[in-house]
Amino acid sequence: MMRYRMLWMATFGVCLSMLTGCATITTADSGKGKKVVFIAGTPSHAPGDHEHRAGSMLLAKSLKEGLPEVETVVTYYGFPEDTSIFDGADAVVVYCDGGAGHLLNDHVEYFQTLMDKGVGLVCLHYAVETTKGEKGDKFLEWLGGYFEPNWSVNPHWDAHYASLPNHAITSGVPSFVINDEWYYHMRFVAGMKGVTPILTTLPPDASLSRPDGPHSGNPDVRKAVANKEPQHMAWAYTRAGGGRSFGFTGGHFHRNWQDDDFRTLVLNAIAWTAHVDVPKGGVQSTTPTDAAMKENLDKK
């Protein structure tokens, strides 16, 4: 396969390295800060939905703006062939389609080596879902919870987060309301050991309007909502050994990254998983302009 490499240095110190079918964007490294690697999946869904590449690039840029000492690397369109990209990584952010096609499914053994080193892990939206069984058990170990088919559901609805817990991840984030494909009734580790719910609310009955199916409904989730059991849409997890993870079920709509509260919560979480002190008031970043939101979108 023909490959080519293009290097580009912008005034703010970003280097672009591209090859056919895969690319990375790396910010200049001070040598003193932390390193966060973003892995974005392949194009998926309709334009403006599941914009893994554009979303990862936007978050990396925003993280760098708020925490200049942090080195950020973005690799997209699948798991990187060159795993040296993870050298020195303090956290990995995964934003991709999940289920049987999750980009980590074929790299469990290698990724376990990163988890054993205490590298942080953030999974965004569909990336919190894998298959039940061996892969699901690994996600419980790595992430503290995951979307389990025929147990969890994935409706679109307006989530009202009226009260957030006192945690570094919620720094500078007040209550907020936003429409997304908020997954819930997640499968968590036994007793929620090590899990701290971050975004919790009671989904409306209308979120279960679809017939039962692997993603749409099941007797267990219907019973939970009928019993008014609060559901967790984002959570922090402290792994055995001290590694930190964050699961976030939102992120279906690319436009939501323009919401300051939504974006800041995730930036805080990325910093927290990398063992970076989250600033009081949260990781500050400029609200992306409409033009910025159109950058790096996949051709669909």
The answer to whether 296 and 60 are in contact (CB under 8 A) is: no
C-alpha to C-alpha distance for 267 and 225, rounded to whole angstroms: 30
C-alpha to C-alpha distance for 36 and 26, rounded to whole angstroms: 10
Q: List the one residue out of 187, 188, 182 whose CA is nearest residue 206.
A: 182
Q: What is the pLDDT of residues 271-288, one digit of tens each?
A: 999 999 999 999 999 999
Q: List the one residue out of 180, 189, 194 whose CA is nearest residue 245.
A: 194
- Domain range 14-293, CATH architecture: 3-Layer(aba) Sandwich (3.40)
* Confidence at residue 158, expressed as pLDDT on a 0 to 100 scale: 98
The tokens 């099941």 sit on which residue?
218
Q: List the one residue out of 169, 177, 159, 224 whose CA is nearest residue 197.
A: 169
Q: Is the pLDDT of residue 11 over 50?
A: no
Q: Is the pLDDT of residue 219 over 80?
A: yes
Q: Is the pLDDT of residue 24 over 60?
A: no
Put simply, whether the predicted model's pTM sits higher than 0.85 gets the answer yes
| C-alpha pair distances (Å), 123 with each of 102, 126, 188, 214, 258 | 11, 8, 14, 20, 19
C-alpha to C-alpha distance for 209 and 217, rounded to whole angstroms: 8
The answer to whether 61 and 295 are in contact (CB under 8 A) is: no
The answer to whether 80 and 111 are in contact (CB under 8 A) is: no
C-alpha to C-alpha distance for 22 and 18, rounded to whole angstroms: 7
C-alpha to C-alpha distance for 18 and 4, rounded to whole angstroms: 7
> Residue type at 265?
L
pLDDT: is 7 or 25 the higher one? 25
Q: What is the pLDDT of residues 241-282, one digit of tens each?
A: 999 999 999 999 999 999 999 999 999 999 999 999 999 999
The tokens 């267990």 sit on which residue?
220
Q: Is the pLDDT of residue 221 over 90?
A: yes
Q: What is the pLDDT of residues 105-161, one digit of tens each?
A: 999 999 999 999 999 999 999 999 999 999 999 999 999 999 999 999 999 999 999
pLDDT band for position 23 (cuts 50, 70, 90): low
Overall average pLDDT of the 173-188 stretch: 97
> Strand ranges (DSSP E) for the chain?
14-19, 22-27, 35-40, 71-76, 91-95, 120-124, 145-146, 156-161, 176-181, 187-188, 195-201, 231-238, 244-248
* Confidence at residue 19, expressed as pLDDT on a 0 to 100 scale: 32
> Strand ranges (DSSP E) for 173-227?
176-181, 187-188, 195-201
